[in-house]
Amino acid sequence: MDCGLGFDLVVATQRCESRGVTIHLIVGNDPRLVSDKVSEITRELIKSMDTKESRSTILETHDAGAPSSELRDNAIRQAVASAETMSLFGEERVVVIREISDATVAELSTLVKYLEQPSDSTHLVVSASGKLAKSVSDALKRAGATVISTEPPQRRQELVTWFSEKFAESDLSIDAAALNDVIDWLGEDQARLPGLIDILVSTFGASKKLTSDDVTPFLGDAGSVKPWDLTDAVDANDSPLALEMLRRMLRSGEFHPLQVMAILHTHYLKLLRLDGPEIHSAADVLTLIGGKSEFQGRKYLTQYRRMGSGDISQAISLLSRADIDLRGGKDLQEELTMEILVARLCRMGTSNKSSRTSKTSSPKRR
């Protein structure tokens, strides 16, 4: 009986308990979010047990992400042995195996065999921050594992809901303005949210509805952002916002200046491809630049019509010059070089508007 993918913990646990066993697979790309969810699931499982034994007597944690093959193999074998052994202190126990995606198929063979007939007295919690081999995924599915993803959603409204749920789970009340401040400030670094929530709970408790003034002092450094947050700000000629997005990308440590340069270069090369062919619709744009999103096609078509051939060519020249400067052409700090570039790009599309064509299609090349 498959316990389903991403069900609520209580519902999934109840369904699995018809077989006398619960198995949870926690997945995600950020090890910090995965680790936090493993801890949360473990606490809930222990809390649900009808036992007075201490946590240390009914919980075992093993690390399948150890640095050597020998350590990983030993960790998995010990975890399986614990799962197969009846607890001396109660009817149930919890066994955790962290980061099984770091282990090889051979190292996980003991776990795969265990999953063929899991113990009816052990709650097994395994986590993976990377891709699992098909044989391991299939074994977990056949055993009825509940898969819980820690990946935050991409769409803004869904992200707002996701953040709201995280605060609600901790019995924190937060107003809409403060919630949006948290989302904007953390950006891509949502793994910092559990720590922020812990601090806010310790400081304010659950009785106060938090405002922006309450939350702001605890936000720390701004998290990273998505590449299109930068290109959207540049396209909108919003220099302050574009520079803020640039600094957050660079200072988060997730993007090297040359990576940001590549993102901008790709963006303007797509616009350059629109210069010449006759274009009438978003579908025409996608044929030239690739992709399937009509929204993206409309964005590039609108931006091309705003900028025109001259500004797009000038933007490409600015990128080439900055690339040389980054590689030692000028004795400037990398971040300053990128700030100058972004500020100049933000001026593209704001001048000589009267000289641009008002036609709904781009000019034909003669």
Cα torsion 16, 18, 20, 24 to 10°: value is 0
In CATH terms, the superfamily for domain 9-149 is: P-loop containing nucleotide triphosphate hydrolases (3.40.50.300)
Determine the Cα–Cα distance for residues 287 and 273; give it in Å rounded to an integer: 10
For the chain, the structural domain boundaries read: 9-149, 156-218, 227-355
CATH topology of domain 156-218: Helicase, Ruva Protein; domain 3 (1.10.8)
Neighbours of 344 (CB within 10 A): 17
pTM score above 0.85 = no
Kindly report the CATH class assigned to 227-355. mainly alpha
Determine the Cα–Cα distance for residues 267 and 75; give it in Å rounded to an integer: 47
- Using alpha carbons, select from 332, 194, 349, 202 the residue that is nearest to residue 271: 349
**pLDDT tens track of the chain, all 366 residues?**
334 333 344 433 443 444 456 899 999 888 878 888 898 899 888 888 766 666 667 888 999 988 888 999 999 999 999 998 876 655 788 999 999 999 999 999 999 999 999 998 899 999 998 889 899 999 999 999 999 988 887 788 888 888 898 898 888 899 999 998 888 887 767 777 887 888 888 788 877 889 988 888 777 666 667 788 899 899 999 988 898 889 888 887 777 888 888 889 989 998 998 887 788 888 888 888 877 678 888 888 999 988 988 999 999 999 999 988 888 777 788 888 899 999 999 988 765 444 444 443 443 433
Q: How far apart are the first and last CA of the chain?
A: 67
Paired with 93 in beta bridges are 122
